[in-house]
Structure 1
Amino acid sequence: MARRAELDHGETTMTATAPQTATAPQTGTALPRAYLLWVSGAVVSILGNGVLYFALGWTATGHSGATAGLVLTAVNVPRALFLLLGGVLGDRIGARLVMITCDATMIALCLLFALVLHLSGPQVWLLLATGLALGLVDAFYLPASGSMPRLLVQPAHLPRALGLRQAGGQVANLVAGPVGGLLVVSVGLAGVLLLDALSFAVVLVVLLLIRPTGGGVPAGGSLAAAALDGLRLSLTDPVLRTVLLLTGAFGGLVLPAFSILMPMLAHTHGWNARGAGLVAGANALGMIAVTLAIARRGALERAGLAAVWGTVVAAAGLALVALSGGPVLPSADFTLLAHGLLPAALGALVCGAGTGLFAGHASPTVLSATPGTHLARVQAVLVLTQTVTLLVTNNLLGGLADLTGAVTSTLIPAGLLLIAGLLALGSPGFRQVRS
């Protein structure tokens, strides 16, 4: 459903709020070659960064846990501080130019850090400098990257295009940990930096080959005013505001549940490391399956309701994970699992499917509802929302688990996620959004 809204620079866009007759996307139509090429490069970049993050964290823990925490903070703080500025530049000079600049910068930095690391060893200051560089470049790269599908794909095909990108990103993140562990042992952090420079070079070549529509909009006002304008639009548009709420809920509740609370649940229920890995893998598998289905068949017609139901399903799956108990049988045969682990894996699968259902409908809704003049800025606000909520809830949920136990501290995020879904259901503008 859509209504026309007159926006800055005389541009007309479609913001989904009121019912209209919509034309269903043609599921058999191939996505543009330029988009497929860009997605391939994006997946390579996600894999390279995931491997580097793992290697960086692993090397930092060799000094101390506090050092690892500082390095993680060094990545997240500049990212949060400069995201809005990155969104402004993405809109003003064009997403492609911003991404080309960021990729070239990261190639140079990775080569420099690898050389210094080879000469001086993994000094703490060098690890912190690497983290700061990654976070700072991300602040400019992520908003531009988030806006690229709108510049490469027709609006009717956005759900399929984004489903393909999300599925590829999930696969890359899934294998980044094992690959990172293998590489950090065999070639060290310096070798990982060289390989990450190669991944950035691949993306740089891809960006030089493609030509997206739209190359920035005329500058108007100061950078601060432009950044605040993107924030204003995100908070006042009913559709964008609701997606912000749900994005913050997923980022601040679901991600910590599987990164922090899951290992604690494993210890509480007596699952071994393989059991905990099975549960985490089931979550990723659920999301990959749903996003691939959207990439193949397209989104459901009632996109707003689908996103809400995805939130509710994810909350139910997370609750099932929390309530599952029982140890893994002490057997070499991994198929012999006590009853507690199987419901947990099923709950994680359901949670992942709900997350995929939400992301596969919310992401194209955001891009369709955003004026062409504000694409990167709205993406910056989305990433900022997820980053800030994750920074807060990582500490809160970890402390809560120490006080109340792993089960209760996992049930609470499930309940809060359900409340977020019900609040979104109460938004008529979002509830009526159609693909």
Structure 2
Amino acid sequence: MSHYKLGLQFAKEQDQNDELASYRNRFHIPKDQHGNDLIYMTGNSLGLQPKQTKAYINQELEDWANLGVEGHTEAKHPWMPYHEFLTDNMAKIVGAKPIEVVVMNTLTANLHLMMVSFYKPTTKRYKILIEADAFPSDKYAVESQLRHHGFDDKEGLILWKARQGEELVRYEDLEAIMEKHGDEIALVMIGGVNYYTGQYFDLKRITKLGNKHGCMVGFDCAHGAGNVELNLHDSGADFAVWCTYKYLNSGPGSLAGAFVHERHAHDKTLNRFTGWWSHNKNTRFNMRHEFDVIPGAEGWQLSNPPILSLAAIRASLDIFAEVGMKKLTEKSKKLTGYFEYLINELNHKDIKIITPSTPNERGCQLSIQVKNTDKSLHRKLTEAGIISDWREPDVIRCAPVPLYNSFEDVYTMVERLKTVLNA
């Protein structure tokens, strides 16, 4: 693209003109043994820690120390309704209404809870469609659901594959699968952004196609939430799930999110697994009532949530609320576009970007395929102060995250990659 230029000066100018540049100072940037900032390109695996996270968690530790059980109602941020403090900001991030979103459990647990409600197999319509290179956890989860319902987990799984010699899947191939097998498919369950290629799918298009054939539709947005504008409500999907420790910077293994479209919000006939946190808040502690489900996504909760994890998520979501997804994605497109430009300018015979080149079909991640190499290349990059992510057989995944990565980070990453390749 013509508006990008080579050289460090251009990167520095972009950083000077970046209205979000100061947010980098709100995060802890990992350092090498000499105290220099590492070039951190793995926000797609684990987001960096906001500096305010410690204070948010300490507040809850203080309240627990000083109040004990009374903290449920008397803490500065009372624990009983604590998950509700996150709902509005999380809904904005994923493009949903507050009634459609809840922060709870972990990603695959939420996926199973959603499939209890939205995978409704019959003897004729029982198959599940996923993308062939879905994240392994998704594949294991849907296979186990097939087995749980008494079906063969290979025969019942339909894979949306890339064509021979290609990395990205095509919508016309999905349409052909649906024409052929649509009346056998109970659930279409796709990763909103593919973890390996970084391909961002058209959620609305996939949902419309699934609905046309009478299928339920859900998405795993682990690589989408906080990265792209998901617009989950407008997509029309029945459900979605995501984790918060990647682009949402909540800390390793932190809680996940779930979306249930508002058209299901008041449907008490939906089959679901329940616990006391999905029961009417007004009578929850009146222990002898019959179950009375809360409307909306909250009605899928099971247990009282871990407050320390919620505090860490709230610390990050408060930053997102300041910036907004619109500004974040605008910077993201510039940053990743610049990254793509520099990689292409290397003009290296063994390097190919397998992520879509159209900005609207990807988030910030670029998956860089390096032919004729092995993991030793990744090791050398790490030794050169680049924290990236290796995926077998030959792909380095790099995600310049707009909240804390700079144009200079991207410039330095490519310069060091060049040095390693030439060596």
Q: Assess same fold via TM > 0.5.
A: no
- The structure having more radius of gyration, on CA atoms, is 2
Q: Normalized against structure 2, the TM-score is what?
A: 0.25
Task: Compare relative contact order (CA 8 Å, sep 6+) and give the higher one, 1 or 2.
Answer: 1
Q: Which structure shows the higher helix fraction? A: 1
Q: Which structure shows the higher strand fraction? A: 2
